[in-house]
Amino acid sequence: MQPLLPLFPLPLVLFENEVFRLHIFEPRYKAMLEQVQLVHCPFVVACSLDRELQSLAAKVELISVDQVYEDGSLDITGRCTERVVLTKVVHAASIESYDQAQVETLSFVDDEDKELQLRLKDLLTQIYELSQVGKRVPDKLGSYLDWAHKAGMDLKHEYEMAALTSVSERQLYALNHLKELLYTLEQVENMKNLVHLNGHAKRLSAL
């Protein structure tokens, strides 16, 4: 039987090998981190969408406790070791304690397509330039972690992408999303140009 692991619901999507940082301030999750440190066990970060716990989650290892504050809250660094499926959730008896879950590993294939990666970089570059976000796309996208949270997806779409079980599937999902986003940005840019031209023509006709 799979062991019960501490469960931490968050409006957050984590991908395999992703390193992340969290500020822990709720009493029950401070207690959870104390237990994690005591027995050196992993914990589960489950995505909460519209306050509903989703079935796909991330199994996480605690890398470090970076700072502990006077009120007992703390900053931590963790790493997602694998994507998992929640097979059982045991709810805490009180709001002062934390939930627990049994999980099974979600299969995953690291079959990154280099051609798709180049197309992703090209689309991201165009989108960044059009939207003037003030950031630059890395010269080399080393893995899906370089673009997964930079593709302008909301939490629901990130969750859907993370549910896919291969890198190439995620690349295709992201490409379709970026194509739609680029089309929308181009339409907005065209509208701005038309508004500008029409305003210029009105000024000329008034002379």
Pair 98, 125 in one domain:
no
Please tell me the total count of domains within the chain. 2
Q: Residue 207 and residue 146: Cα distance in Å, rounded?
A: 53
Maximum mean pLDDT: which of 101-115, 126-140, 144-158, 190-204: 101-115
Instruction: Say whether pLDDT at 203 is over 60.
Output: no
Q: Residue 133 and residue 77: Cα distance in Å, rounded?
A: 27
Pair 121, 70 in one domain:
no
Pair 184, 141 in one domain:
yes
- Name residues whose C-beta falls within 8 Å of residue 5's C-beta, 6 or more positions apart in sequence: 41, 42, 43, 44, 59, 100, 101, 102, 103
Residue 138 confidence (pLDDT)? 63
Instruction: Say whether pLDDT at 149 is over 90.
Output: no
pLDDT in tens, 79-131: 999 999 999 999 998 888 999 999 999 999 999 999 998 899 899 888 888 87
Pair 61, 79 in one domain:
yes
Q: What is the CATH number of the domain that holds 26?
A: 2.30.130.40
Q: Distance between alpha carbon 40 and the CA centroid of its chain, in Å?
A: 25
Domain end residue (candidates: 105, 130, 145): 105
Pair 97, 9 in one domain:
yes
Instruction: Say whether pLDDT at 193 is over 90.
Output: no
pLDDT in tens, 86-98: 999 999 988 889 9
Residue 20 confidence (pLDDT)? 95
Pair 199, 126 in one domain:
yes
Rg (CA), the chain: 22
Look at 55 and 185; give whichever has higher pLDDT.
55
Domain end residue (candidates: 83, 105, 127): 105
CA distance between the termini of the chain = 84
Sign of the alpha-carbon dihedral angle for 12, 32, 19, 101? negative
Pair 74, 165 in one domain:
no
Pair 34, 100 in one domain:
yes
Report, as an integer, the average pLDDT of 1-5.
88
Pair 89, 126 in one domain:
no
Q: Residue 59 and residue 45: Cα distance in Å, rounded?
A: 6
pLDDT averaged over the chain?
A: 88
Pair 88, 119 in one domain:
no
Instruction: Say whether pLDDT at 32 is over 60.
Output: yes
Pair 97, 12 in one domain:
yes
> Which range marks the domain in which residue 28 is found?
5-105
Pair 88, 155 in one domain:
no
Q: What are phi and psi of 69, to 5 degrees?
A: -95, 170
Residue 207 confidence class, pLDDT cut points 50, 70, 90: very low
Domain end residue (candidates: 105, 126, 154): 105
Residue 204 confidence class, pLDDT cut points 50, 70, 90: very low
- Residue 3: name the closest of 108, 64, 87 by CA: 87
Q: Is residue 16 helix, strand or coil?
A: coil
